[in-house]
Every structure is written in structure tokens, then in C-alpha cells.
A = this chain, B = another copy of it.
Amino acid sequence: MKTNTVKGTNDYLPSQVALRDYLQSVILKTYQNHGFERIMTPILEDIENLDKSEGGENLNLIFKVLKRGEKLSEAIEKQQFKENELADMGLRYDLTLPLSRYYANNRAKLGYPMKCIQIDRVYRAERPQKGRLREFIQCDIDIIGSSSNSCEIELIDTTAKALLAIGIKNFVVKINDRRLLKNVLLTAGFLPEQLDSVCITIDKFDKVGAEGVRAELSEKGFAEESIEKMITIFGNLPLSLEDVKKYCTDEEALNSVETIMNAVNEINEGNYSIQFDISLVRGQGYYTGTIFEIQSLDFKGSIAGGGRYDNLIGKFIGEDIPAVGFSIGFERIFAILSETGYEIPGKKKIAMLFDETDVIPALKKADELRAEYDVVMYVKPKKVGKFLNKLEEQGLAGFYNYGQGEEVKIF
């Protein structure tokens, strides 16, 4: 039998799980302290829901679950060999689609606006490479049912506080608005139906630079004049919100970004900053307004991201419901903090060594000690000294040798 995990997934050692659990519990408590409530949805979703969910590139990365029994036989007999004919469910690729379905399914029993937490696994059939897991954790907060800018402010505030609480410092919040981005691109001469495709290319500014972007847009066949105008605007980053006003006529979007930035600058207590970035795109197709991202200044790349998606829930209930969310990239955080010698608070752990004939009194003694310590039971091995060395290596604090002296010995 194969002993390794399937590609792109991990076994986690006890010390890793301890850190993961601790980080998740601090993030969860911070979210809860800010009034959000945890909800939970299945990992499995209907295949059609997943396919219609505007997940952009992620739709190509869905793990699909084979039909079973008669339904599978029927598909094969009828020569229905398309993925969505052979499969009836899929593993969720994010927590936003399940949240939208959840809201539609349970709306009568939920508060309005609803402020919710999801900390859970998602799945993507990525080509495995460093940092790209196929099974990973996302930590999301979402506010459903309010179009007030105070939601964006609150989400940024809460997410930043969660990061600070687990010891992530030195980060910057980047903010943009899909409406501004589209407005600027229209000004440059692109057509409304071209915007999504243009955005996907603009998203690569960081990686390929102005020349790379120009080349890709030419290849896609867009008008050279529009490309040049866009490069003039985006080639001179960073642009201030003031600069963008020259190219942009959407007052509502401009005001919205301004309000959010002003508020965040007032409440951040100097712990982090917020910057406008017209080149911020975010991959998902469902964003409609504000988009934001948190970038670490110590470690390359994004550690959190989100935005407003006012049309997604409407797909389920035939009525537009405003919604906005912010997601912490837990695996990135875990990878960063794993390398720092993180101290996890909790009881110290000691070993109780006992002869098999003493199991009953040894268990009773261990129970007394458990008020102060976590106590692990071990039948005394032949080479006690060597065994104790190993326990010390594994990070235990000490031991109690039953029948050999009546006290806990700390290493």
C-alpha cells in the first residue's frame, strides 16, 4: 500500500497541528469578539451549483465526485462521458459559493444583516508546486445584507486585528474598487465586454511588467490605442486616488474608497497602513465593488483578500442581496509562522512511567497531576534513561516515575 499522502495534500505532525489549531482558535476568537458567528457547510456541493458560480480560473480546478450505483451505470450505458455527466457533486473550491447557497437555504433563521465566520477546508486541483496545496484552510468573515461602507471598514479592522493577534505585523492593506477599475478601462477605450479579459492580464503587472502586459493584450487583439492609454495610466503606479480622479467619473465608487481609507487610517492605531492601488484586480468573477488584499512587507505576496459581491446571492434567491467578505490565506500564515519558533500557551506536558502491575494506582496518581499538567502514560521501558532523553527531545517538560520517588521531575 502507498504510504504517502495524495499529491498536493499534507499529513501534519503533532507540533504542526498544535500550531494550526492555536492559530485558528486565536483568529476565531478575534472574529467572535467582533460579533461574527461561525457557520458550517458541507465540503461537497452540487456539481451544477459549482459550475455556475463565476469562480473564474477555479472552475477548472474542481475535484468532482463520481456518480454511484445505477446513476453511474446509466451514464456509462448512455455514453455520457463528460465530467459533469459522470459526476454529480464536487469539492468546494472556496467558501463564498457555499456561503451564498447557505444564506439562501437558511435565510429565515438568520439575523439580518448576517455577520458570519467560516474557517474550513477547500480543494483545488492545482498543479502542485511550492505553496500550492490541493487541500487547504481558508478563514473568512462575511457580512450579508448591508451595502454600507461600514462593512468594509469593519472587515478590514477585524481581519487586521486577527493578524496582529497571531503575531503578523508589518503589513499593508491594498484597496481598489472594480467599478473604478472598469471605469478607467472604459475611459481608455476598451469595450464593456472586453473588461474581464483585460483585468486578467492587468493582474499580471507585478509579475510581467508593462511590456509583458502590453504584449499579452496585443496578442488578445485589443486596439493598440486603448492598450497604450491603459499602459500610460497603469504604467506609472502607484497612482493616488487623486490621480485616478482624472480618468474616472464614478463619483460613488471614488467616495466609497475615500470613506473606507479615511476610517481605516483613524482606527488602525498605527499598526498598519492602507493604500489605494488601481492595479489590484483579484481573480474571482463575482466581485462587484470594493476589492482588498493584505500584503506582508516581510514576506512576499498576499496574506488575505476579499471584496464586495453584491450579485452572487441573488442567483440563488432571485433578489439582489449586498454582500462583502474578507479571507485570510491560512496556509501562507502557517508557512510563515512555522519557521519562527512560535510559543503556544497551555499546560506543560509530563510523562508518567509505570510498571504494568501498577497501572491502577499510576492512573489514579496521573489524574491528580492532571490539574497542573497534561500527563501521558508510558509502561516503563527497559532503557529508562534513553527513553527519557527522547521525551525531552520531543518537548516534554518532565516525568513522574511511579514507585521511584514521589515527585514530578522537570528536565
Contact = CB atoms under 8 A, between A and B. Distances in A.
Interface of A: 1-6, 9-14, 16-18, 20-21, 32-46, 48-49, 52, 63-66, 68, 72, 76, 81, 83, 86-87, 89, 91, 101-102, 104-106, 109-111, 113, 115-116, 121, 123, 125, 134-135, 146, 148-150, 153-154, 157, 263, 266-267, 315-317, 347, 349, 351-352, 354, 356, 359-360, 363-364, 366, 370, 374-379, 390-391, 394
Contacts of A375: 33-35
13 contacts: A1-B52, A1-B101, A1-B104, A6-B89, A33-B370, A35-B349, A35-B374, A66-B86, A68-B125, A153-B359, A154-B363, A157-B363, A263-B363
Contacts of A9: 42, 44
Contact of A363 (B125, B135, B153): B153
Number of this chain's copies in the assembly equals: 2
B66 A39 contact: no
B364 A267 contact: yes
A24 B318 CA distance: 37
A135 B87 contact: no
A37 to B, nearest CB: 4
B64 A105 contact: no
A66 B66 contact: yes
B64 A38 contact: no
B12 A44 contact: no
Contact of A109 (B13, B64, B86, B266): B13
Given A11-B106, A35-B349, A148-B356, 6 more contacts: A5-B42, A6-B44, A14-B38, A17-B38, A18-B37, A65-B91
Contacts of A44: 6, 9, 63, 123, 134-135
Contacts of A110: 13-14
A336 B148 CA distance: 41
Contacts of A315: 1
A182 B390 CA distance: 40
